[in-house]
Amino acid sequence: MKFSYYPGCTVHSTAIEYAKSIDAVLDVLGIELKEIEDWNCCGAAAAHSIHRQLGLSLPARNIAQAQKQVALSSQLITSCPGCFNALKRADYALRNDGETRQEIENVVGFSYSGEVKIRSLLDILNNDVPQESLTAKVKKPLNKLKLVCYYGCALVRPQAVTELDNPENPMMMDTLMDLMGVDVRDWSYKTECCGADLALTHGDLVQKIVGRLIEHAKDAGAEAIVTSCGLCQANLDMRQTGPDPLPVFYFTELMGVAMDVPNRKAWWSKHIVDPGPLLSRLGYE
Amino acid sequence: MNYELSGQTVARDASFANEVIEATGVRVDRCYQCMTCTLGCPVADVMDYPPNQVMRLIDLGAKETLLRSRTIWMCVTCETCFARCPNQIDTAAVMDYLREEATAQGVEVPEARIQLLHRVFAENIKSFGKVHEATMLMAYKLKSKDFFSDMGIGLKLFLKGKIPLFPSKVKGMQEIKRIFEKTYDKTFGGRS
């Protein structure tokens, strides 16, 4: 399987361990990603928060870049929910709103073809890869690991735009973790917001929001949290207070453990809450 | 119809609701004040007007009150309100519009740091085409004069190699420049 790939800015910085674990796991599964040429920032929360047209035009330029390599793959994969949300919003507007499409085509200087389909990595692993292909690669089922799946906001909302899963009770990560043997706990905070970029201006508030999430994760019997979002991971990993903080994994890191891919120590060294002790106690490292 | 707001009697003005509907396509006039948005909002307790009151203020025409509110900056567009609204009102999209209006009009806002962070972030993209955390955070710290908060966390991330020193720049910077010229710069006039 071969897909076009939009990595997003954080693959070289705050989510570097996500990027490395994605590479390792997709290599095992024989999925090839071809990075689109000269991509730019999707605009994140900042662009749309203060300028609608800028918030649509920045991701639209990436759609333009993906159109150029449509012969290679018409599917553009992204692993970051923030980028996914921005790309999908731009695509939704370009596809469904003729007036906005003209505006954005004029700003970006391209012609929207509608050929590129934007997809999240979680969607690919759930719906394009057969479950038997995933379980066939599991060398160490993680059945002693108790955790909760945390999806956050951007991946699943608004549903008309993201076209993914149930916006209140998504199951894509739960399903993948279950295939890896993980003891997945149910909880009602799967899609509760982590406070997002308020972390930079209102650290105390985000600490409170994160504290609430951690408390409920622990109530569900979780010893760790798994997520697919760099901003959720950063807020949960950095803003926990109190004793016994929970390690916060990217789902691809845990797939990597179950598939026993090499060089995992380099991922753990990037975490603030060291997942090493938990993984050693359970006999996975 | 007249209404009371902050001790003053004001006349209702329906033109603002029409302006919001025209600009965003969001049918704010469908709101029947069930308060589902406010019940699910993760930051309602730190807003001066919770989301359902924003809908009511739009109905009354209280544009000035909303543009000067703390609410519009505390909203992080998590879209829980829209996901749960029985009338499919995308309240978060309305917040985007109100923030853009407040910024374009140069209104003095009560959450200047949040507005500044958005602007510094956008201007970082204008410089490199991608976000470079180190220069972005530096610019934010200098302009907000908030030098000390989160220094510990910043240092930890730097030591873990998560904040690269050097930016990587998009090759097609003239395309990025063109996007900004036709959008952001046009509205905000290069004002910083």
Query: For residue B190, is pLDDT > 80?
Result: no
Mutate to test the interface with A, among B105, B109, B125, B144 (most CBs of A within 10 A): B125
Residue A140 sits at the chain B interface (C-beta within 8 Å): no
User: Is the model's pLDDT at B177 over the cut of 80?
Assistant: yes
Question: Is A256 within 8 Å of A278 (Cβ atoms)?
Answer: no
| pLDDT at site B191 | 55
Q: Is B179 helix (H, G, I), strand (E, B) or coil?
A: helix
pLDDT digits (tens, 9 = 90+) for A82-121: 999 999 999 999 999 999 999 999 999 999 999 999 999 9
Asked if A14 lies within 8 A of B176 by C-beta distance, the reply is no
Which residue range forms the structural domain that includes residue B145? Answer: 112-188
Q: Which of B96, B137, B164 sits opposite A12 (nearest CB)?
A: B164
CB-CB under 8 Å, A153 with B78: yes
Confidence of residue B1 (pLDDT cuts 50, 70, 90): confident
* In a shared domain, residues B60 and B84: yes
Identity of the residue in A106, A153, A192 whose CB atom sits nearest the CB atom of B79? A153
CB contact under 8 A, B76 and A198: yes
Q: Answer yes or no: do B124 and B181 share one domain.
A: yes
Instruction: Pick the last residue of a domain from B70, B104, B138.
Output: B104
Q: Last residue of a domain, which of B47, B69, B104?
A: B104
Is A159 at the interface with chain B, CB within 8 A? Answer: yes
Q: Domain A138-281, CATH 3.40.50.11810 — does that match?
A: yes
pLDDT tens digits, chain A, 285 residues: what are they?
A: 999 999 999 988 899 999 999 999 999 999 999 999 999 999 999 999 999 999 999 999 999 999 999 999 999 999 999 999 999 999 999 999 999 999 999 999 999 999 999 999 999 999 999 999 999 999 999 999 999 999 999 999 999 999 998 999 999 999 999 999 999 999 999 999 999 999 999 999 999 999 999 999 999 999 999 999 999 999 999 999 989 999 999 999 999 999 999 999 999 999 999 999 999 999 998
Please name the CATH architecture into which domain A2-123 falls.
Up-down Bundle (1.20)
> Which of A49, A194, A231 best probes binding to B when mutated, by most B CB atoms within 10 angstroms?
A49
ipTM for the complex? 0.95
CB contact (8 A) between residue B131 and residue A9: yes
- State the smallest CA–CA distance between residue A43 and chain B in angstroms: 7
Q: Would you list the domain boundaries of chain A? A: 2-123, 138-281
Q: How far is residue A14's CA from residue A63's CA, in Å, rounded to a whole number?
A: 24
B78:A193 CB<8 A: yes
- For A59-68, write each residue's pLDDT tens digit: 999 999 999 9
pLDDT of B151 over the 70 cut: yes
